[in-house]
Every structure is written in structure tokens, then in C-alpha cells.
Amino acid sequence: MPNEPSAGTARPGDGAPVVRVEGVVRRYGRTLALDGVSLTIGAGEMFALLGPNGAGKTTLISILCTLLAPDGGTATICGHDVTRSPRKARETLGVVFQEPSLDGKLTVEENLDFHGRMYRMPRAQRRARIAEMLELVELSDMRGRIVRSLSPGMKRRLEIARALIHDSRVLILDEPTVGLDPQSRDRIWAYLAEARIRRGMTIIVTTHYIEEVEGCDRICIIDRGKVLALDTPDALRAAHGREVLRVHATDAAAAARLRAVLPQAIEGAAGEIRVVGAERSLMMRLLDAHGADIRDLSVERPTLNSVFLSLTGRDLRDGQKPAPRRAA
């Protein structure tokens, strides 16, 4: 069972859940993408879903967004069942998908206005909300620009503004900063923090940048369709964080020799060799016996990345896709 925060510890999300997922199962043919996932997310909570490629994050997000129906279990948003009452569930949601979904031939303002019309917002309310959201994401001076002429960072900011234009109580973002430069990523998170304060909204986010979830209230680590851990960042580090020895060999032959004496090692990107939970003495023994094979060696103190590595056996951005899991 995932750990829960200590009794008496107040945090955003205390109280009745806004999102409730109970025993959700989803298959693609014989491949089991979600295997009985259960979790709750409270009002005003910043909640992160972390997992490697193929873990089931996007499938879960698609179910919450009413784009997919679960094969088993239930999911509700603000009390509305996503399968039985998808329209009511969608009315409470703002969504920023991983792939761009703006109309590049329309202007910034026209994209927002069209979205407001889809939600049947009165004209005066649309105009006021468009002005408010463009100010929030610093695009007021761009309202007449054709969207295809914007930079990737501006487009992503516009998508966030569009997701907030109606009275969304829950904002779902699937990889909102993928492909953006560090400055644009920082600005996106600043806008999200401001929107959360203004609207008291619940935010659910997936990301491949583990440093971005440090400020989240809780983090759910999912892999192969199962929830491996769910708790606050500090609690996850305390429960699962371990030191990680990282070794880079001088060449392929040296790497093979090192792997032979480190059977517990995990091979990472760019030929890196990792040992989770290694004792400090191992570093000295390696240097003494195999110093000529080692180009670089370091020890990473317990971090969220080491938590993820300890639970899943890989770094979040390794890009290693696990073998499909078959339904029983």
C-alpha cells in the first residue's frame, strides 16, 4: 500500500477527494497497461504522476480526460463518473495535452474565444477571461498574432491559458514542458503556481523532468501499470531514497569488466553503470582494483531521482521501454 502523510499533517488536498480512481484496469489487446490502479487527489493539490515510458501514465490521463474508457474499475472527477457522465466530468477539466492542439491558422485571441464558445461562455465573460488569462501567461501583446508564428514556449503558454479559460476545477497537464528550454520551463511552472493560487484548483501533471516535481504536494510513481509508491517528496526520499554509485568506464571493454564484478549494477544511458544502495567502501575497492577502467566515478545522495531508480530500476529519462506485460 502506498504510504500516506503522517496523521495531523495538514496539506492541500485534505478533505473530500476531487479525483478518485478505484481499481482501474485498461488493456490494449493482451497488453495490460493499467493493473488495478487506485488513488485519490484532494482539492487544491499539486499532484505529479512519474513513470518511465510505457508505465501507464498517459493511459491513466486519457481515462481521466474521458478519452478512454477503463476495462475495469471506476474514475470520478468532482463526483462525476468519467464513463457514465463524461460531459459533466469534462466541464470541470482543463487539459494541456503532450501534443500541440492549437489551431495554427487562428490568432491567439481567436483560439481562446473558440474554446470559450465550446464551453458556452457568454460573450462578456469570454472577453474578460481572455484578457485575464493572456495577462497571466504574458501574451497580452500577442493576442492578434497568428498562432503558427509563435515560439514553442509561447504556444505552450497559450495552451495553458486555453485550459484555464472556462471554470475548470482540475487542470491536467501531460508533459507540459517537453522540448522547452529551461527558461521557458521555469516560466510555465510560475504560471501554474499563480493559476493555482488564483483559482484554488487541483493540478495533475506528468513530466520527464524529475526536478520539476519537488514542489508538488504528492508524487505517484507508476510502472508497468501499477502504483509503486505515493507520498510527499520528503516521505518518498525517507522511505525509498538510497545513495547511487555512478561509474563511467573508459571504453566498452572496461565497462564489460566492471559489470562482471558488479552483478547488482544497472546499466544506464551512455554506458553509465549504477549501483543503488552501494556502501561507500565499494567506491574505494573499485578504484583500487579497477582504477584503470574508470573514467569517472561519483556518489549521488538520496534524491527523488534515486527514489525513482530504486523503485523502477532506471532513471526517469533513460528512455528504456519495459517489455509489455501480458494480462493473465
Whether residue 28 sits in one domain with residue 170 = yes
Range of the structural domain that residue 287 is part of:
244-300
Whether residue 216 sits in one domain with residue 103 = yes
Q: What is the DSSP letter of 299?
A: E
Q: How confident is the model at residue 4 (pLDDT cuts 50, 70, 90)?
A: very low
Whether residue 92 sits in one domain with residue 166 = yes
Q: How confident is the model at residue 205 (pLDDT cuts 50, 70, 90)?
A: very high
pLDDT score of 254: 87
Last residue of a domain, one of 217, 237, 257: 237
Give percent of the chain above pLDDT 90. Answer: 50
Lowest mean pLDDT among 4-18, 26-40, 125-139, 165-179: 4-18
The answer to the question of residue 136 being in a domain is yes
Whether residue 283 sits in one domain with residue 227 = no
The answer to the question of residue 307 being in a domain is no
C-alpha to C-alpha distance for 18 and 21, rounded to whole angstroms: 10
Whether residue 144 sits in one domain with residue 279 = no
- CB neighbours (10 Å) of residue 143? 16
Three cell numbers written together for 319: 528512455
| Mean pLDDT, all residues of the chain | 86
- SS3 assignment, position 220: strand
Whether residue 146 sits in one domain with residue 31 = yes
Whether residue 163 sits in one domain with residue 39 = yes
pLDDT score of 113: 96
Strands (E), the chain: 17-28, 31-42, 46-50, 72-77, 80-81, 93-96, 170-174, 202-206, 218-223, 226-231, 244-249, 266-267, 273-276, 294-300
Give the pLDDT confidence of 130-146 residue by residue, as tens digits: 999 999 899 999 999 99
C-alpha to C-alpha distance for 282 and 284, rounded to whole angstroms: 5
Short-list 275, 113, 32, CA closest to 285: 275
**77 pLDDT more than 70:** yes
pLDDT score of 12: 53
Please state the domain count of the chain: 2
Check which CATH number belongs to the domain holding 114 and give it.
Answer: 3.40.50.300
Whether residue 252 sits in one domain with residue 269 = yes
**β-strands 170-174, 202-206 pairing:** parallel
pLDDT score of 176: 86
Query: In the sheet where 72-77 sits, what is the strand order?
Result: 31-42, 17-28, 72-77, 80-81
Whether residue 155 sits in one domain with residue 47 = yes
Lowest mean pLDDT among 12-16, 48-52, 270-274: 12-16
The pTM (predicted TM-score) of the whole model is: 0.77
The answer to the question of residue 7 being in a domain is no
